Chain A
């Protein structure tokens, strides 16, 4: 490509970074700075050099690469020469979002306005609400449930870490002991001790968002949001949605405001209310995340009714695999509380042998119980 005046080239490249940001790549100003520096260093306008310089400096994860390739192709199709006379950066192509994406939360939106309950009434009715099936609530009760869910916290049972912390008893801590000795000119001093620190296990939530879970999806997502925030920042709770596709929504859940978080999740999850292929989803999770470490030693919670459209044998095999990786596998099933419930759904029956604790998941009380089980209480 021909040599070009630098100013225009910069404008085009900055426009490219802007298009990337619009597509969801966190290409902040400092990255753009590095990008421009890298190109200057390469002294080249060759397409492949621009491509690599951008990819190396603007991307930060494997997920970014796919978006990067797409935006790069689209943007430089319109800007064949990086130094072409200033044309305003085109409106970046938005990430395609299936129309169905909004379906999960939008029905709830109308109900939100209907609510204006005096605070005094809240406390007394909370106890009643606690054991009601979340699928059978009216608009006002739903709104109250949301407020109650917001106060939730979920953390894994504690485990010992290799990191040693000062303690009142344990092994002698040579570092601190000798430091004190030196302080006193070598005179014998009090021994200092250290002991392994503890840390909560990582919690992984696998949330079924298929059609059969619709009545519970909103509440369970809010539960997941609260869980992701209530846990300590050192072991963040990972949240995935499963349906016809596996989607990691941990990042979307980082919005502090539950409504903003749920809106972000809604646009990230492409498969609301579809069918469920639990076995395949689970395999996707284990291949891409679980086996690498996300599930290792973690408390994995599957929130699903176990309604499997795929092959139950595959689900059984993947559950065995999950069980070998995870510290504990908890399955919360909102349908379990129904009178006369038997785990007859093929998926549920296939999964049960690899589940350490099988709990209910239909009400606030059940979710509290679930949180206790995750923390390490003897299982239900």
Chain B
């Protein structure tokens, strides 16, 4: 285990995930207090990547639950393996088992329980659980998650309570498509993800795409930073910056010019209106300013 936010930060950075002071403290507290981190912020700011970085640091498997509307306990927590239960029943009959009580307890034993992500996370030690886009699930699911995250245990009526010997590290992400219930947030540490500044974003790009030339990385970052200040429908996230650098590198580019930038804008901007707007900007001026 780590001794302080500083060390944790260094270890996270070794995995290629750069954190600022606040996030380092958030991760440290999450590990020590066994609290989930509730990550909110624009798409592409590294909320989901945090979970995999934490998993690498902990040397633990990452168990991911993607939320969607209508998700329920049998998809998130556990389900009974009905076909196998029936098969078992038939087999028992064939060999003439008559002890109904024993048969029943066999049918509803751990053997026939299928663990879905949440139960897997409780049963795997250590583990990192990512509950992705929790704002997409509905209220019922939130209430159910609340119960799980406050006790780190699950009650299966037929089996009793299954408890995690040591709680998993939990990362929840939300894109704010709707307000998540306060009761759930209260259980969590709240961290808001902002777009990073130029220096940090450049460092992230260099870390994630080491093969890209320094110059190209700086130019890409500069353009993306400028694009974010424009009034775009969907400002690009760090993920897009990394994608763009990768795409340009795949094209064999070592530096960016306005023509190439316009040709590859699709890696960064995902709306026609935004692309039009970017094309109307003087990209060569931006590039010249950060020409270096």
Would A60 and B89 be within 8 Å (CB), given that A34-B33, A162-B69 are in contact? no
Is B86 touching A181 in the complex (CB atoms < 8 A)?
Answer: yes
Q: Counting CB contacts under 8 A, is A339 at the interface?
A: no
**Contact string against A for B residues 1-43, beta-carbon threshold 8 Å, 1 for contact and 0 otherwise:** 0001100000000000000011001101100110100001000
5 inter-chain pairs at a CB distance below 8 angstroms, sorted by A residue, are A41-B28, A182-B107, A185-B100, A234-B139, A293-B176
Is A57 touching B177 in the complex (CB atoms < 8 A)?
Answer: no
Residues of the A chain whose Cβ atoms lie less than 8 Å from the Cβ of B86:
178, 181-182, 186
Residues of the A chain whose Cβ atoms lie less than 8 Å from the Cβ of B139:
233-234
Q: Shortest CB–CB separation between residue B166 and chain A, in angstroms?
A: 17
Residues of the A chain whose Cβ atoms lie less than 8 Å from the Cβ of B72:
163
Would A178 and B32 be within 8 Å (CB), given that A163-B70, A293-B177 are in contact? no
Residues of the A chain whose Cβ atoms lie less than 8 Å from the Cβ of B176:
62, 292-293
**Contact string against A for B residues 141-184, beta-carbon threshold 8 Å, 1 for contact and 0 otherwise:** 00000000000000000000000000000000001111100100
Instruction: Closest A residue to B108 by CB, please name it.
Output: A182
Which one of B187-195, B246-254, B255-263 is at the interface? B187-195
The CA-CA distance from A296 to B136 in the complex, in Å, is 12
> Secondary structure at chain B's binding surface: helix, strand, loop or mixed?
helix
Q: Which of B70, B107, B177, B191 lies in contact with A292, CB distance below 8 A?
A: B177
Q: Counting CB contacts under 8 A, is A175 at the interface?
A: yes
Residues of the A chain whose Cβ atoms lie less than 8 Å from the Cβ of B29:
38, 41-42, 53, 56-57
Is B40 touching A62 in the complex (CB atoms < 8 A)?
Answer: yes
Q: Counting CB contacts under 8 A, is A59 at the interface?
A: yes
Instruction: Closest B residue to A181 by CB, please name it.
Output: B86
Interface size on A, residues (CB 8 A): 43
Interface size bracket, B side? 35 or more
**Contact string against B for A residues 49-71, beta-carbon threshold 8 Å, 1 for contact and 0 otherwise:** 10011011101111011000000
Residues of the A chain whose Cβ atoms lie less than 8 Å from the Cβ of B85:
178, 182
Known A-B contacts: A38-B29, A56-B191. Give 20 more (CB < 8 A).
A37-B33, A41-B32, A42-B25, A52-B22, A53-B25, A56-B189, A57-B190, A60-B186, A62-B40, A62-B192, A162-B69, A163-B70, A163-B72, A175-B80, A178-B83, A182-B89, A186-B86, A293-B136, A293-B175, A293-B178
Residues of the A chain whose Cβ atoms lie less than 8 Å from the Cβ of B82:
174-175, 178-179
Residues of B79-107 at the interface with A, using a CB-CB cut-off of 8 Å, are: 79-80, 82-83, 85-86, 89-90, 93, 100, 107
Q: Counting CB contacts under 8 A, is A31 at the interface?
A: yes
**Contact string against B for A residues 1-35, beta-carbon threshold 8 Å, 1 for contact and 0 otherwise:** 00000000000000000000000001010110010
Q: Lowest 8 CB-CB distances: which A-B pairs, in order? A: A293-B177, A162-B70, A163-B70, A178-B82, A56-B189, A52-B25, A60-B185, A186-B89
Is A60 touching B190 in the complex (CB atoms < 8 A)?
Answer: yes
Most-contacted residue by chain B among A31, A293, A296 (CB, 10 A) = A293
Q: Counting CB contacts under 8 A, is A48 at the interface?
A: yes
Q: Counting CB contacts under 8 A, is B138 at the interface?
A: yes
The CA-CA distance from A216 to B16 in the complex, in Å, is 57
Residues of the B chain whose Cβ atoms lie less than 8 Å from the Cβ of A55:
22, 190
Instruction: Closest A residue to B83 by CB, please name it.
Output: A178
The CA-CA distance from A31 to B186 in the complex, in Å, is 7
Is A65 touching B93 in the complex (CB atoms < 8 A)?
Answer: no
Q: Counting CB contacts under 8 A, is B74 at the interface?
A: yes
